[in-house]
Structure 1
Amino acid sequence: MKSKILYNGYDENFIRNHSIPTPSLNEEQLSDLAVNSDGTAMIRYINFSLQLSCAHKFPYYTATNIDGLKFKKVPRKDNWRKDDRLPKDLQFGSELYSAANSNFDRGHMTKREDVQWGDTVGIALNAADSTFFYTNSVPQHKDLNRDIWRSLEDYILHAEANKSQLRICVFTGPVLSKSNPYFTTAINNKQIQIPAIFWKIVVYEKEDGKIYRVGFMMSQNKLLAKGNMIEELESEDDIFMRFKDAETYQVNVSLIEEMTGIQMPPAIDSYTDDRDIKLVMDEIDIDPDLESSSIEFELGFAIRNILL
């Protein structure tokens, strides 16, 4: 008889001697949460959890524990499916990713390798497999998912958490906004909005024993528009429109909070800058024509200086 897999979920006491709670949603977001079969709105997997929007059918955020010391190498097995613990109509699946003009990658919010750890290879394998629920997926342009965004994720895991044997917590999500552009293909006779901006926050302990956090944000709007995958972006939200064309990294956590409406766990900010947002964007804009290796070097340099 096959044993039932235990979905332990995100552990807020994962970093020893510290409590790192999950992000706090506002009242409107709380009223929009999908509830799973156990009657809770916190959807637990192995080494990570998430909260899912009913209106958008994408996660507001995922919360992930990464243990560099217990990382295991396991084979990748793409096993995308909807979560039986949730109503099927609250989850986008193949109907979105196989639709006409849907050249999206199934973008993991919690990265497969990030949760690929445990006391045994079997636990790590099940953890990796649990990231292939559509609840953990948001459409991403292949060039963002495979190049720029992936370079950021790989550096966090392999250069920081794994090599340094750190325990870190990572929060990731799309900006679920009414300003998001519409997909050019209707899904089940309904127009849907595709998140244009993604964010990531890394929380970690420094040698001084204190908890720090650093935020990153990237936009795929230019990539989606170039591929004719979305309609022209229009919005009265000034801050949102400042990210219309930029692929960016390293931003104030307060900016992520302002754009998402989500309050992040408190910690010391490793990066602060009071200059105008557009000026910061000019300095950290990523040229889409850059070679991947150059992007990895720039990302590595930025993160390495933050985490020191």
Structure 2
Amino acid sequence: MIFISKNKVSIPISLCIIALILCISACSNNDSNGGDLSQSGEAYWKISSTVKSASGSSAIIITGTPGTIWNAEITEGTTWCSCSSNDLTLSSKSGEIKEGLNILYVYYNSNTSKEQRIAKISLQFADQAAKVFDLVQLSESQQNLPAFKLWAEIPAPKENTSYQYVTHYALLNDKTIRNYSICFDKTKKAALWVAYPIHSAYLGSVKRTDRWAFDPIIPQSYQADCTIRSYGGSYDRGHQLPSADRDATDEMNAQTFYMSNMTPQLNRLNQDMWAKLEAKVRANNCSDTLYVVTGAYFGAGATTTTDGAKNTVPVPTNYFKVLLRTKSGKTGKNIKDCSDSELISIGFWVDHKSYGNIEPPKSICTSVADIESKTGFTFFPQVSSSVKQQNNPSQWGIN
């Protein structure tokens, strides 16, 4: 028998070989079994769980450990929903996560009924519990109107054949909640106002999705086409509801990239003072909820630019924000049940120009009532006119 010696300790080389074989075997087994145990996956709708009434397809993005097996099955809605564009009876599909982009496409027929319908897609990774995705298809005439008299942030409606009112919903902790509502002007190819609540429930750590897309509820012909590239000139695709106000879930954030939430906004306004104003607004969120309406105003002398497809679109002359919340932030009351002394409000009227990379100045601060007179809209209809006369910038962290 051959021995090797080191530091006066002799070890049979045959035993070394056996130990090496056992180690390799153990490592191999660990790679196999441990790999299975560490396999995991995540999935989310690419854009939204809500689609229009016309036939089409939606996509679920799949991410996770390469090699992880996934199984998907349509458990409800199989009469109009499928996993294949060629075989409308195919209700299940399996796959393995690869490096790069992994997508599960879900195909659906037209909904010609007067009611929306819901399909359910169950998706399971390896030995993880299955996750169920709801796909909501709107009816032909459905618009998802805001709850005008219920939600504190919704302005009073105005009758105008050019206006379309829409609310977008999203899933949060397996519950469907409102994301935001808009008053979209088809002649301006933009929302005149976007109303939304800000609360810690809407804030998280999801990365900005940058999934520029058409709003599925508004006819595409009325929307600016900046899904691939921005507006012409020095204009950004300016959010009215900021992406950073909706980073609790991927779906919530993706919906902020709808074209209906965009306007052509000067890059040196959008990225500088306006961005700081958005951060200042977000910092005022509270347990009772902060209610916000952001809007675009097209006044005298409004100019035009082009969208990403070279179509002419109007450029706003001004932007505004109006804010409402309880003074303490922790009353536990609905807005309609609060006294005037318990509420605070403020407005911001912004010229469409570069202010420089500065903090929001007091010069843009005004009252909600003043912005009502400028725009013709009635904001926060649940509160008194005296509350809407307030203009106290320091109360909102603006000095």
Q: Same fold (TM over 0.5)?
A: yes
Check whether the contact 2:200–2:287 (CA below 8 A) recurs between aligned residues. yes
Asked if 1:252 is matched to 2:333, the reply is no
Which structure 1 segments of 5+ residues have no match?
35-40, 118-123, 224-245, 274-298
User: 1:74-93 to 2 correspondence within 5 Å?
Assistant: 74-93=206-225
Asked if 1:133 is matched to 2:265, the reply is no
Q: Which residue of 1 aligns with 2:317?
A: 196
User: 1:1-308 to 2 correspondence within 5 Å?
Assistant: 1=74, 2=121, 3-4=133-134, 20=152, 22-27=154-159, 30-34=160-164, 41-46=165-170, 47-68=179-200, 71-94=203-226, 98=230, 101-117=232-248, 124-157=249-282, 159-161=283-285, 164-177=286-299, 179-183=300-304, 191-207=312-328, 209=338, 210-221=342-353, 248-266=363-381, 267=383, 268-269=387-388, 271-272=390-391, 303-304=396-397
TM norm structure 1: 0.65
What is the distance in 1 between the residues matched to 2:166 and 2:239?
A: 18
| Structure 1 residues 12 and 305: alpha-carbon distance in aligned structure 2, compared to 1, 3 A threshold | farther
Q: Which has the higher contact order (CA 8 A, sep 6+)?
A: 1
| Paired AA for residue 348 in structure 2 | F
What is the distance in 2 between the residues matched to 1:270 and 1:62?
A: 21
What is the distance in 1 between the residues matched to 2:306 and 2:367?
A: 34
Check whether the contact 1:48–1:115 (CA below 8 A) recurs between aligned residues. no
Q: Which residue of 2 aligns with 1:234?
A: none
3-state SS, counterpart of residue 42 of structure 1: strand
What is the distance in 2 between the residues matched to 1:272 and 1:265?
A: 15
Check whether the contact 1:97–1:104 (CA below 8 A) recurs between aligned residues. no
Shift, 1:255, TM fit:
2.0
What is the distance in 2 between the residues matched to 1:193 and 1:104?
A: 12
RMSD (Å) for aligned C-alpha atoms: 3.4
Shift, 1:93, TM fit:
1.5
Q: Which residue of 2 aligns with 1:230?
A: none
What is the distance in 1 between the residues matched to 2:259 and 2:307?
A: 19
Shift, 1:45, TM fit:
3.9
What is the distance in 1 between the residues matched to 2:238 and 2:368?
A: 22
| Structure 1 residues 139 and 48: alpha-carbon distance in aligned structure 2, compared to 1, 3 A threshold | same
| Structure 1 residues 83 and 219: alpha-carbon distance in aligned structure 2, compared to 1, 3 A threshold | same
| Structure 1 residues 104 and 65: alpha-carbon distance in aligned structure 2, compared to 1, 3 A threshold | same
Shift, 1:128, TM fit:
0.9
What is the distance in 2 between the residues matched to 1:143 and 1:78?
A: 20
What is the distance in 1 between the residues matched to 2:310 and 2:365?
A: 38
TM norm structure 2: 0.51
Superposed CA deviations along residues 245-265 of structure 1, whole A, max 9, x for unmatched, are x99421122221122111111
3-state SS, counterpart of residue 132 of structure 1: coil
Q: Between Structure 1 and Structure 2, how many residues are aligned? A: 235
| Structure 1 residues 185 and 20: alpha-carbon distance in aligned structure 2, compared to 1, 3 A threshold | closer
| Structure 1 residues 71 and 43: alpha-carbon distance in aligned structure 2, compared to 1, 3 A threshold | closer
Structure (1 or 2) with the greater helix fraction: 1
Shift, 1:184, TM fit:
5.3
| Structure 1 residues 77 and 189: alpha-carbon distance in aligned structure 2, compared to 1, 3 A threshold | closer
List structure 1 segments (4+ residues) > 6 angstroms apart after TM superposition: 6-14, 186-190
What is the distance in 1 between the residues matched to 2:192 and 2:366?
A: 19
Shift, 1:129, TM fit:
1.1
Which structure 2 segments of 5+ residues have no match?
1-73, 75-120, 122-132, 139-143, 171-178, 332-337, 356-360
Superposed CA deviations along residues 212-258 of structure 1, whole A, max 9, x for unmatched, are 321111111468xxxxxxxxxxxxxxxxxxxxxx9942112222112
| Paired AA for residue 150 in structure 1 | A
What is the distance in 1 between the residues matched to 2:276 and 2:310?
A: 36
| Structure 1 residues 206 and 81: alpha-carbon distance in aligned structure 2, compared to 1, 3 A threshold | same
What is the distance in 2 between the residues matched to 1:189 and 1:160?
A: 39
| Structure 1 residues 81 and 248: alpha-carbon distance in aligned structure 2, compared to 1, 3 A threshold | farther
Check whether the contact 1:168–1:202 (CA below 8 A) recurs between aligned residues. yes
Percent identity between the two aligned chains = 21
Structure (1 or 2) with the greater strand fraction: 2
| Paired AA for residue 217 in structure 1 | W
Task: Single out whichever of 124-133 and 201-210 deviates more from structure 2.
Answer: 201-210
